[in-house]
């Protein structure tokens, strides 16, 4: 499965070598545009822009650890590209507008306004396998720093075929990203 990226490429997470951080977020707004219905009442919905900016501010620190950054949401690549340009995001944002990655990985979602959104979580991927899961993400603003601290303390990348997970993210425990999805 490949995902379209904001810089114009298609990315297959299973093919990436080394350590990758994939942070998943529900939605980013645009100035002057309304939030989805009931957005203010959904725990964990707010915070995508500060989370993205946090990873952007620390992109050099992640690179210093040999880690490649990607963001992922269910928004279209064109929508994401506008956001990435406006916020000067220094790494690719991947689109799962069709929901293929969400279904293949069993990512947790929520619904509002007849739309489905990905729940906020972060995967550390080593050589195409999920090494670590951050879920839930209680503080989107400080999350990039928390992930960086974990990576700084972690051993060198080690790919594994299973990960102990909690709550609705348990489906992600089929750790290989090279599933036979679409």
Share of the chain above pLDDT 90, in %: 83
- Contact of 96 with 74, CB cutoff 8 Å: yes
- Residue 147 located in a structural domain: yes
pLDDT at residue number 164: 32
- Residue 163 located in a structural domain: yes
- Contact of 161 with 129, CB cutoff 8 Å: yes
pLDDT of 96 over the 60 cut: yes
- Residue 66 located in a structural domain: yes
pLDDT of 161 over the 50 cut: no
Please write down the long-range contacts of 45-49, taking CB distance under 8 Å and 24 or more positions apart: 45/110, 45/112, 45/117, 46/140, 47/120, 47/140, 47/141, 48/73, 48/120, 48/140, 49/87
Q: What is the mean pLDDT of the chain?
A: 89
We report the CATH number of the domain holding residue 133 as 3.40.30.10
Residue that wins the pLDDT comparison between 47 and 157: 47
- Residue 179 located in a structural domain: no
- Residue 178 located in a structural domain: no
pLDDT of 85 over the 50 cut: yes
* Residues 182, 176: Cα–Cα separation, whole Å: 15
pLDDT of 166 over the 80 cut: no
Structural domain containing residue 134: 3-173
Instruction: Tell which residue, 85, 101, 117, 120, has the closest CA to residue 178.
Output: 101
- Residue 77 located in a structural domain: yes
- Residue 182 located in a structural domain: no
Lowest-pLDDT range, 20-24, 62-66, 118-122, 151-155?
151-155
> Does the global pTM surpass 0.85?
yes
pLDDT of 179 over the 50 cut: no
Structural domains counted in the chain: 1
What are 119-150's pLDDT values in tens digits? 999 999 999 999 999 999 999 999 999 999 99
- Contact of 1 with 12, CB cutoff 8 Å: yes
* Residues 101, 106: Cα–Cα separation, whole Å: 8
pLDDT of 162 over the 60 cut: no
pLDDT at residue number 1: 85
- Residue 181 located in a structural domain: no
């Amino acid at each position: 499965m490949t995902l379209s990226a904001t810089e114009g490429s298609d990315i297959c997470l299973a093919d990436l070598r080394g350590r990758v951080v994939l942070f998943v977020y529900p939605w980013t707004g645009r100035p002057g545009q309304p939030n989805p219905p009931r957005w203010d009442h959904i725990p964990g919905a707010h915070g995508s822009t500060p989370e993205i900016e946090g990873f952007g501010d620390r992109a050099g620190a992640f690179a210093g650890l040999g880690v490649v950054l990607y963001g992922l949401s269910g928004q279209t690549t064109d929508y994401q590209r506008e956001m990435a340009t406006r916020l000067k995001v220094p790494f690719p944002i991947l689109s799962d507008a069709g929901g293929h990655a969400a279904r293949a990985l069993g990512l947790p979602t929520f619904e509002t306004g007849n739309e489905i959104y990905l729940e906020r979580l972060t995967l550390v991927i080593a050589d195409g396998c999920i090494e670590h899961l951050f879920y839930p993400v209680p503080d989107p603003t400080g999350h990039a720093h928390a992930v960086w601290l974990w990576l700084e303390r972690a051993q060198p990348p080690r790919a594994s075929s299973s990960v102990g997970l909690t709550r609705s993210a348990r489906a992600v425990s089929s750790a290989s990203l090279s599933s036979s999805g679409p």
